[in-house]
Amino acid sequence: MKPNVDGRFWLNFGARGFLGLGRIELLERIGALGSISAAARVMGMSYKAAWDAIDAMNNLADQPLLIRQVGGRRGGGTRLTDYGREVIAQYRIAEHTHRQFIDLMQQNLEAGGLADFAADARFIGRLQMRTSARNHFHGTVSRFTAGAVNDVVVVDIGDGIEIASVVTHEAADSLGLLREGREVQVLIKASFVILCEEGDGLRYSARNRLCGMVSAIQPGAVNAEVKLELSAGRTLTAVVTMDAVGEGWLQERGRACALIKAPHVILAVPD
């Protein structure tokens, strides 16, 4: 059996997977059908898996890729934004170039054998960051406060949404975080996100308070996964008890706020 070269093209933000063929096909299906559920059925995906993929893309994109439309004369639906259509077009161009690269590597393999191919292919190996954190955003350092032991680093994840993190001075220095405009990845475990009712009179000790609309509640035996839709297409995921859901104040399409302590916000850099 002859060896062959194959591979898929992925577009990443830092070390975080952003766009691959499956996600592009999902976007294209949604654009054609105007419905996430219909696109998921055609692709053999669950509705939740489709929404998770969309949330992951929107959280890393500079602008929303999709906009949900509620009600109206023709009913609700979902449509691609101009930015979403541009992302698809650019991906397809890059995918075509990648395919040409794969074909060239296959020609080199057939001409020189495995030994020469291995020597030529060493440069394409790279490590990818894998994380269990449910929330992953791409952003830039907007400001910081240096301290003797700990530093406060504030990251803008888009549309002026800022998340503060407390890190040791040693870590901030080694990662180069004390520099405005520095690109970083923001990681927050869903269990670190506390949800509360929206209200101006609330007093709290958490550094971060992000408010938005509850877009989905996925109940489980003990806990429920709650998605909070922020501005600019960003979505924050929290895990709460079913008892909290049963209290009644947490409703889909209702308002809520997320409280996140700054030490619970992890920052990572791609280099």
CATH of the domain at 209: 2.40.50.100
Do 75 and 160 fall into the same domain?
no
Reduced to 3 states, what is the DSSP secondary structure of residue 225? strand
Q: Whose CA is closest to 179, among 267, 263, 261?
A: 267
Domain end call among 91, 112, 130: 130
Reduced to 3 states, what is the DSSP secondary structure of residue 199? coil
CA distance 177 to 148: 15
Q: Whose CA is closest to 53, among 42, 66, 62, 63?
A: 66
Do 32 and 116 fall into the same domain?
yes
Do 125 and 61 fall into the same domain?
yes
- The whole domain housing 66 covers 1-130
Mean pLDDT to the nearest integer, 62-90: 74
Q: How confident is the model at residue 151 (pLDDT cuts 50, 70, 90)?
A: very high
Residue 225 has pLDDT above 90, yes or no: yes
pTM passes above 0.85: no
**Amino acid at the residue 33:** L
Do 229 and 112 fall into the same domain?
no
The number of folded domains in the chain is 3
Domain end call among 130, 155, 175: 130
**pLDDT at residue 8, as a whole number:** 66
Do 36 and 59 fall into the same domain?
yes
CA distance 196 to 251: 12
Do 146 and 178 fall into the same domain?
yes
Mean pLDDT to the nearest integer, 81-92: 82
